[in-house]
Structure 1
Amino acid sequence: MDTKQFSKPVLGIETSCDETGVALLRWEPAAPGRGLLSHALYSQIKLHADYGGVVPELASRDHVRKLLPLVREALAEAGLTPADLGGVAYTAGPGLVGALLVGASAARAMAWALGVPAIGVHHMEGHLLAPLLEEDPPEPPFVALLVSGGHSMLVEVQGIGRYRILGDTLDDAAGEAFDKTAKLMGLPYPGGPALAALAQQGRPGAFRFSRPMTDRPGLDFSFSGLKTQVLLAWQQSDQAEQTRADIARAFEEAIVDTLAIKCRRALQAAGAKRLVIAGGVGANKRLRAELAEAGEKEGFRVYFPRLAFCTDNGAMIALAGAIRLAAGQHQDESVQVFPRWDLETLPAV
């Protein structure tokens, strides 16, 4: 991958939703991942649990409270001061507009005060590049499955900033379907991890649900119908604890099989042999196992970021920002965020 080194550490700030992430990274193309100097993360799960979902105003206020203490924590862990920074990267979108503005405002203020460049990072590009933080990173071209609470998309990656969306979600993203299905079965917030844990106790074959949109050509996703199937099955069942686990397992299998089928099709369409899995749902054990097994059998290689970097985090933002800063890209001093932002519009590196 032809990228230059950005010699000074870059501060990465992530505030797109309900997690405040901060990291310090020195981008070293010859040794990806080894340039990560520190990272700190604060989750707002407890704050939003009583509401059963993220409350945007509360999320924004909590970012205000937590961001600067986390920056200080990351600097202390790395043994650095603000004067050591060479640039600041922050999530500019997509995400909740108030939450994005907290990170963008703080990042711009710090960059201006320190006289260093700042750059707004596309949240999904951060996820897409997260595997570069590992010891054995993927080289383009590859296909990326970006799968989280807000997104389910397949992207052909020819290089950094050279993206073509092969398939996108038409309604609920996979992570959103996990959370909503868990909620309708009475599982605690956040529902996705709770449902996945419960699915491990389910009996194979007790229930079976459809694999949405796999019976037709195309790479788009739709999980709203699957969610309805689960609701009907749950309402018509005895609602015993074992039944809940059985339904959870069948639902998880349907999601994972659907994602795996679409990944294989995307690899074939792009003529690629490397597959990157990123985003919060990328931490799902069943998905990781199924795709790893498929890759061994069918001759493609699968790359996963470590579990800590599947969910939202500052390290992926620092990485994406450092790569672009090293290429000479940065923006003016205005504070701009993009709650909706097309990945294909990013400039190439």
Structure 2
Amino acid sequence: MNTTSTNCYLLAIESSCDDTAAAILLNDKVLSNVVATQEIHEQYGGVVPELASRAHQQNIVPVVTAALRQANIDKNELNAIAFTSGPGLLGSLLVGTSFAKSLALGLNIPLIDVNHMQAHILAHFIDEEGYDKPTFPFLAMTISGGHTQIVRVDDYFRMSVIGETIDDAVGEAFDKSAKLLGLPYPGGPLIDQWAAKGNPKAFPFTKPRVDGLNFSFSGLKTQIMYFVQKQVQQNPDFVSQHLADVCASIQYTIVGILMDKLKKAVKQTGINQIAIGGGVSANKGIREALTQAEKNLGWKTFLPKFEYTTDNAGMIGIVGYLKYSQELKDKNNYIDTGIHAQSRLKL
């Protein structure tokens, strides 16, 4: 282990779903951030857990090797290893967990478990030129294929969920809507692309009524399904003729749902710093809505760099570094081989 300076070289590993990722950080700065995607799932229209875990086994050594090479350091220079312990697909998590444990034991360096959802939020604290960092307290909206939450963040590791989906996640709503339109998986980014060419008010959809700051998207998905079926019965070419307008209308509705809840959260908490994270935060419609809210409502918004929105190891690394730096006098607290993967893990 490198003990010649207070700098921390940290290897981070992310394997919660279908992307195998590794990053090297020097303190809070990302030196390399490598992601291997799994294209095999496209033919199935969604992630197949067993295939995902097998692909992780094939990818993890090459990905870690590439991250070390790009950062121009040797594994013996590492001070710590951070990895995603959950939430996520258990088989996928086990691959990353087992690899991280083995390497940490072999190098005799601290092992740091990271909550995937915390990482989406704390990705904003990566030292990246041109990107501001939020100050505490702030509100974080984590939006992805598996999660939709509004979180009050009072410190790095003091967070409380004040709103969440009661059924489907927003990313799933995008992907399932895209599938209804005949778009390939993952369809969310394709809806975003088509929406830019369409009229967002061409086909109005009803927003679900949900108490408090919680979300619901299952009813909206059903509404879109019946709408498409009805239109196609009347005109078999409806989707191809109106794809841009339908995508724009779907996106407009979903963004409206998210923004309505954020406005309510700001009013309830008095906090007007808003940070977004998760794969859906790459959506241009959401980013534009937040930019407009900053201008019109006086919010301070924080939009992450695109490479830190989808699942990546850079965000895992910043959490690992923050944990490590808070325990510099007692690093051995993190050498715990009893750490295990957890498919369900709360903030």
Q: TM-score, normalised by structure 1?
A: 0.92
1:99 counterpart = 2:98: no
The residue aligned with 2:31 is 37
Deviating 4+ runs (over 4 angstroms): none
Aligned counterpart in structure 2 of residue 338 of structure 1, from 338, 342, 345: 342
Equivalent pairs: percent with the same residue?
Answer: 42
Residues 1:110 and 2:103 aligned together:
yes
Give the aligned partner of residue 307 of structure 1: 306
- Name the CA distance, whole Å, in 2 between partners of 1:52 and 1:301: 37
Measure the CA separation in 1 of the matches of 2:295 and 2:335. 43
Aligned AA for 1:74? A
- For residues 64-103 of structure 1, the aligned pairs below 5 Å read 64-103=57-96
Aligned residues: 330
Residue aligned with 2:212, SS = coil
d(CA) in 2 for partners of 1:299 and 1:149? 29
1:139 Cα deviation (Å)? 1.4
Which residue number corresponds to residue 171 of structure 1?
Answer: 167
The alpha carbon displacement at 1:335 in A equals 4.5
Cα-to-partner distance string for 1:44-82 (whole Å, 9 max, x where unaligned): 1x2101111100011001111111111111111111001
Deviations 1:189-209 (CA, angstroms, capped at 9, x unpaired): 111111221222222422011
Deviation of 1:211 (Å): 2.1
The answer for the alignment partner of 1:52 in structure 2 is 45
Contact 2:113 2:339 in 1 (8 A): no
Q: What is the root-mean-square deviation in Å for CA atoms of aligned residues?
A: 1.4
Do the aligned partners of 2:8 and 2:321 also contact (CA within 8 Å) in 1? no
1:203 matched to 2:199 = yes
1:258-269 matched pairs, under 5 angstroms: 258-269=257-268
Secondary structure, counterpart of 2:334 in structure 1: coil
- Residue of structure 2 equivalent to 1:346: none
1:264 offset after TM fit, Å? 1.3
- Partner of 1:156 in structure 2? 152
The farther-off stretch of 98-107 and 293-302 is 293-302
Counterpart in 1 of 2:19?
Answer: 19
Deviation larger for 92-101 or 65-74? 65-74
Q: Which residue of 1 aligns with 2:319?
A: 320
Between the aligned partners of 1:219 and 1:247, the Cα distance in structure 2 is 27
2:124 is aligned with 1:128:
no
**Partners of 1:253 and 1:72 in 2: how far apart?**
42
Letter in 2 for 1:258: I
Q: Deviations for 1:211-233, whole angstroms, at most 9, x for unmatched residues?
A: 223xx641000001111111111
Gaps in structure 1 of 5+ consecutive residues: 29-34, 344-349
AA matched with 2:304? P
Report the alpha carbon displacement of residue 111 of structure 1 after superposing the two structures with TM: 0.4
| Aligned match of 2:217 | 223
Shift of 1:258: 0.7
